[in-house]
Chain A
Amino acid sequence: MALTQEIVRKRLTDQFGDSLTEWGEPQGMLTFTAPREMNLKVLSFLYDEADLAFRFLTDLTAVHYPDRAGEEICVVYHLHNLSANLRLRLKVYAPVAQPDVYTATRIFAAANWMERETYDFFGVNFIGHPNLKRVLNVDEMDYFPLRKEFPLEDQTRIDKDDEMFGRG
């Protein structure tokens, strides 16, 4: 039987119960949120179970939501089951004050640089990462540039404000 999103969702809820939340299918991709201390349990369950076999890490990145108090940093995993050709998206939220998330490098070798990049730009502290240092920016940098509070341009300019971009 072909693997479908319904089966994946049922298998996950059977295993983890109500701890997985925010189920959705934006643009057809199964998306859900896990508590941040459970990210490795969910990832390895998806990897190890023979019928699920999400063994390809397509992408790993983060998003900064300054308005979500206590869970400002969202780490996003895109997984792919190549033989059933099914993708899913796993999200994990962490507070910006202490963005600790367990590393996925033990499961996916590809996560190494992707997590370094995410650390580089968002300051996510991947616990257990073998070599968590900046990868694209200079080592001396003391800020995380993709966080929303980091200005893209000289903030003294008054001719450009967020209102012009539709979110004043």
Chain B
Amino acid sequence: MSETNHIRLPEGSIERMTTTLNLGPTHPAVHGVFQNILELDGERIVKTEATVGYIHRAFEKIAERRPLYQITTLTDRLNYCSAPINNMGWHLTCEKLLGIRTPKRVDYLRVIVMELARITDHLICTSIVGVDAGAFTGFLYVMQYRELVYEIYEEICGARLTTNMGRIGGFERDFPQAAWDKLERFLREYPKAQKELETLLVRNRIFYERTRGSGAISAERALNYGFTGPNLRAAGVDYDVRVHEPYCSYQDFDFRIPVGTTGDNHDRFMVRTEEIWQSLSIIEQAYRKIQDMKGPEANVYHADAPEYYLPQKTDVYSKMEALIWHFKIVMGEVDIPAGEVYHSVEGGNGEVGYYLISDGGRSPYRLHFRRPCFIYYQAYEELVQGSMLSDAIITMSSLNLIAGEMDA
């Protein structure tokens, strides 16, 4: 054998004391398409480099050529674990720019959908933290009920994951009875499953030891890193967009904002767990408020906004005005008033913001999504510095990193 066939190692690799490990982009523990290049000394992490962008789809550029209603489908694909929140956030942004005021019933219907989405988002995150700590069972208990929530979405809008739910001004149709029946079943049965998950994990010695103290961040650093949502609240800052700038009549509801103290994996888990209970209570309140509605307001499901909300099909076939609006809306020929607006909603992971600039054309001049995941993922290096590899995995899942939201 000639000498040239020998394996050539990179220079200095024998003398080097650390190991380089590629975690991702398609590793089962990463739960999404992004990569971490870890520099390991034994099992301790010396250095991390995060690489994102594997599923970047240029949504901000595409949005510059689309009428407003076609951008809803792009927002689905940001945080696909809670797509309805993104949809509603986008509709609210448009309504703010267009000056459309929605009836109370629409607000409450939206609140129900958004809180359902928050529950599905949080139940994935909390149960996956369990899975990554070695407890698979609880995950299956709650996953059954994500399925039920997806069925509710299906009854409302026909889709499950990327929902494209609602329209500018309200919903495309009223919730059918089947959706209410399934919602009632969810409210009745889900607490049991959630309690089962909590019995398995909360105060479980192994889980506690694995999560407590790892991946911790102080409130000050979390704020400096632009953390929002449950991850910020776990560090002890009670910032919640639903309370600070109520949208969709959130001021009508009575709920508490859970906060942690240490900002570690355990606090993040506990904050999300408590938020699930608060969301259940909000859904119940909203459902009751809708049931209590009397007279004409008990049936409205959209605002009166003929320029942006598609008319009834029967009207399209029989009325000239409706036909014209239908055509103009579908073809995207409605001019948007010039202006700039920033609107944010409390997403599953934090403040989901939409910065929309219109120059009076038919599509946005510029649209920017504030994606909470993208912003707090840069703190990952600091969070796992010097910790064990296994803690880094739990930190990743307790931060709830969603690749779709990171990459836009």
Interface positions of A (Cβ within 8 A of B): 26-27, 29, 31, 55-59, 61, 63-64, 76, 78, 82, 85, 87, 89, 108-110, 112-114, 117, 121, 134-138, 145-146, 150, 152-153, 164-167
Contact = CB atoms under 8 A, between A and B. Distances in A.
A109 B60 contact: no
A146 to B, nearest CB: 6
B60 A58 contact: no
B342 A166 contact: no
Contacts of B244: 82, 85
Contacts of A26: 339-341
Contacts, number: 102
B360 interface: yes
B408 A136 contact: yes
A113 B342 contact: no
Given A27-B341, A113-B375, A166 B360 contact: yes
B379 interface: yes
B362 A58 contact: no
B408 A109 contact: no
A87 B342 contact: yes
Contacts of B237: 82
Given A59-B368, A110-B375, A152 B355 contact: no
A165 B58 contact: no
A60 to B, nearest CB: 9
Interface residues of B, number: 47
B353 A137 contact: no
A59 B335 CA distance: 27
B26 interface: no
Contact of A63 (B360, B366, B378, B379): B366
B65 A110 contact: no
Contact of B226 (A58, A85, A153): A58
Contact of A59 (B56, B370, B378): B370
Contact of B378 (A64, A87, A113, A167): A113
18 contacts: A27-B96, A27-B341, A29-B342, A56-B226, A59-B368, A82-B237, A87-B342, A109-B221, A109-B379, A114-B226, A117-B374, A121-B60, A134-B53, A137-B53, A138-B53, A153-B65, A164-B362, A165-B65
Given A110-B225, A166-B362, A89 B342 contact: yes
Nearest to A63: B366
A82 B97 contact: no
Contacts of A146: 60-61
A89 B370 CA distance: 14
Given A110-B375, A113-B378, A63 B357 contact: yes
Contacts of B239: 82
Interface string B299-340: 000000000000000000000000000000000010100011
Given A63-B366, A145-B61, A165-B363, A27 B340 contact: yes
Contacts of A150: 61
A108 B359 CA distance: 31
A145 B341 contact: no
A135 B378 CA distance: 11
Interface string B375-402: 1011100000000000000000000000
Interface string B347-364: 000010101010111110
Interface in B56-79: 56, 58, 60-62, 64-65
B377 to A, nearest CB: 8
A29 B368 CA distance: 16
Contacts of B360: 166-167
Given A57-B226, A109-B224, 20 more contacts: A27-B340, A29-B342, A55-B223, A61-B355, A82-B223, A82-B237, A82-B239, A82-B244, A87-B342, A109-B226, A113-B377, A113-B378, A114-B226, A114-B375, A135-B53, A136-B56, A152-B61, A153-B65, A165-B362, A166-B335
Given A167-B359, A167-B361, A136 B407 contact: yes
B245 interface: yes
Contact of A56 (B56, B223, B374): B223
Interface string B18-41: 000000000000000000000000
In the A-B complex, the 3 residue pairs with the closest CB atoms: A110-B226, A136-B53, A166-B361
Nearest to A64: B366
Nearest to A111: B226
Contacts of B270: none
Nearest to B354: A59
A115 B370 CA distance: 13
Nearest to A110: B226
B100 interface: no
B361 A76 contact: no
B179 interface: no
Nearest to A87: B342
